[in-house]
Amino acid sequence: MSTEGSTAQPHAVVSGSSSGIGRAIALALLDAGWQVSGLDAAPASIVHAAFTGHTLDLRDGTAIARLCAALSPVQALVHAAGVLRVGPLGHLDAEAGELMWRLHVDAASRLADALVPGMAERRQGRVVLIGSRVAQGMPGRSQYAATKAALVALARSWGAEVAAQGVTVNVISPAATATGMLQDPARAGSAPRLPPIGRLIEPAEIAALATFLLSPQAAAITGQDIAICGGSSLPR
């Protein structure tokens, strides 16, 4: 997972790499010497010699399988792509719920199914899924919370399957983060809750933790849901 002592760059696949948390993680990995393949429905926003952008609809399982089969060996997978749709009981949108499930959970499952067995065979690999503090439940966000909670279950299950093969699987669950998602009209009327530290979480802070979890030093951390919450999880 490190370039120390080796001329080969480790290779990470990062979904949602064109903006927000995914972009911050991709940039941090590039700075750390990784080769990064970015997956996003939007055009690539990163220009770097070690970055390759792939425009991809992550709801398309066939497209995911085709792309993963064409990639060079992968040492890490970061699934950061996501959307937020809100709605209280009585006004739940089935299409919005399906969108979030397919993008958060189904895409993560397809990417991991295609890439993690190779990591396990090589006895080296890291997976980081971007969850949310909302997974613990929040009024008006039940469908979103359910998809993010599912990521924790996936991480714990996959982590148990591949721990002995040198592969770790973890979730990072941020509180409200300073990304473009906060300005999404689809969340109108559902303002973010400011953490006790008095500011939003910065994408670079999440990227720093993701970079560590993908490093050799994090080999003993797996199956965990790690909050970057600015004190939101503390009793008050």
Classify residue 204: in a domain, yes or no: yes
Q: CA Rg, the chain, in Å?
A: 17
CATH label of the domain that carries residue 81: 3.40.50.720
Classify residue 236: in a domain, yes or no: no
Classify residue 234: in a domain, yes or no: no
Between CA 146 and CA 61 the distance in angstroms is: 21
Classify residue 4: in a domain, yes or no: no
Angle between helices 61-70 and 107-122 (to 10 degrees): 20
Classify residue 235: in a domain, yes or no: no
Classify residue 100: in a domain, yes or no: yes
Two structure tokens written together for 113 = 């199914």
pLDDT at position 179 is: 86
pLDDT at position 184 is: 59
Classify residue 3: in a domain, yes or no: no
pLDDT at position 191 is: 65
Q: What is the pTM of this model?
A: 0.91
Q: For the chain, 236 residues long, give each residue's pLDDT as a single digit of tens.
A: 544 434 489 999 999 999 999 999 999 999 999 999 999 999 999 999 999 999 999 999 999 999 999 999 999 999 999 999 999 999 999 999 999 999 999 999 999 999 999 999 999 999 999 999 999 999 999 999 999 999 999 999 999 999 999 999 999 999 999 887 666 555 555 567 788 999 999 999 999 999 999 999 999 999 999 999 999 888 76
Classify residue 188: in a domain, yes or no: yes
Query: Which strands form 35-40's sheet, in the order they lie side by side?
Result: 51-55, 35-40, 11-15, 76-79, 125-130, 167-174, 225-228
Range of the domain at 162: 11-228
Catalytically annotated residues: 144
Q: Which amino acid is at 10?
A: P
pLDDT at position 59 is: 96
Two structure tokens written together for 103 = 């993008």
First-residue to last-residue Cα distance in the chain? 39
Looking at the 3D structure of the chain, how many domains does it have?
A: 1
